Chains A and B, each alone.
Chain A
Amino acid sequence: MKKKYIALTVYLFLIMLPIYWMLNMSLRTNADIMARLVFFPTDITFDNYIKIFTEPAWYSGYINSIIYVALNTAICLVTALPAAYAFSRYSFIGDKHVFFWLLTNRMAPAAVFLLPFFQLYSTFGLIDTHIAVALAHCLFNLPLTVWILEGFISGVPIEIDEMAFIDGYSFPKFFFRVFVHLIRSGIGVAAFFCFMFSWVELLFARTLTTTAAKPIAATMTRTVSASGLDWGLLAAAGILTIVPGALVIWFVRNYLAKGFALGRV
Chain B
Amino acid sequence: MKKWQDNKGWLFILPVLLIVAFSAIVPLMTVVNYSIQDIFGPGQRVFVGTEWFREVLTDQRLHEALWRQLLFSGLVLLIEMPLGVGIALLMPAKKGFGASLVLVLLALPLLIPWNVIGTIWIIFTRPDIGLMGAAINTLGLTFDHTANGLHAWITLMLMEVWHWTPLVALLAYAGLQSISPAYYQAARIDGASAWSIFRYIQLPKMRGVLTIALLLRFMDSFLIYAEPFVLTGGGPGNTTTFLSIYLVKIAVGQFDLGPAGAFSLIYFLIVLLFCYLFYQALLNVGKGEES
Q: Which A residues are within 8 Å of any B CB, using their own CB?
A: 4-5, 7-8, 11-12, 14-19, 21-22, 25, 33-34, 37, 39, 75, 78-80, 82-83, 85-87, 89-93, 95, 98, 100, 102-117, 119-120, 135-136, 138-139, 142-143, 146, 154, 158, 196, 199-203, 216-217, 220, 231, 234-235, 238, 241-242, 244-246, 248-250, 253-254, 256-261, 264-265
Contact = CB atoms under 8 A, between A and B. Distances in A.
B170 interface: yes
15 contacts: A18-B132, A83-B15, A86-B13, A87-B9, A87-B13, A90-B7, A92-B7, A107-B275, A110-B223, A111-B225, A113-B27, A201-B114, A220-B116, A235-B119, A238-B116
Contacts of A87: 9, 13
Contact of A238 (B2, B100, B120): B120
Contacts of B109: 15, 19
A108 B268 contact: yes
B264 A246 contact: no
B55 interface: no
Contact of A200 (B30, B114, B225, B247): B114
Nearest to A259: B174
Given A108-B24, A196-B111, A257-B174, A12 B116 contact: no
Contact of A139 (B23, B123, B248): B23
Contact of A116 (B4, B28, B120): B28
Contacts of B267: 109, 111-112
Given A82-B12, A109-B264, A217 B30 contact: no
A139 B24 contact: yes
Contact of A91 (B3, B124, B244, B275): B3
Given A82-B13, A241-B112, A261-B174, A109 B124 contact: no
Contacts of A75: 19
B147 interface: no
B1 interface: yes
A15 B113 contact: no
B275 A8 contact: no
B94 interface: no
Interface in B80-136: 87, 90-92, 95, 100, 102-116, 119-121, 123-124, 128-132, 134
Contact of B124 (A21, A78, A146): A21
Given A92-B10, A139-B20, 5 more contacts: A8-B87, A12-B105, A83-B13, A200-B111, A242-B116
A8 B98 CA distance: 12
Nearest to B249: A111
A115 B257 CA distance: 9
Nearest to B173: A257
A109 B271 contact: yes
A256 B175 CA distance: 12
B198 to A, nearest CB: 13
Contacts of A103: 275, 279
B271 A108 contact: yes
Given A83-B13, A91-B5, A242-B112, A115 B104 contact: no
Given A111-B244, A113-B27, A102 B106 contact: no
A28 to B, nearest CB: 10
Contact of B4 (A91, A108, A246, A256): A91
A12 B26 contact: no
A234 B28 CA distance: 36
B120 A19 contact: yes
Contacts of A100: 276, 279
Nearest to B23: A139
A80 B4 CA distance: 19
Contact of A34 (B5, B112, B128, B226): B128
B278 to A, nearest CB: 9
Given A79-B16, A107-B275, A200-B114, A90 B6 contact: yes
B65 interface: no
B52 to A, nearest CB: 14
A136 B107 contact: no
Interface string B58-90: 000000000000000000000000000001001
Contacts of B16: 79-80, 83, 102, 142, 146
A15 B162 contact: yes
Nearest to B15: A79
B119 A238 contact: yes
Given A12-B106, A139-B24, A158 B3 contact: yes
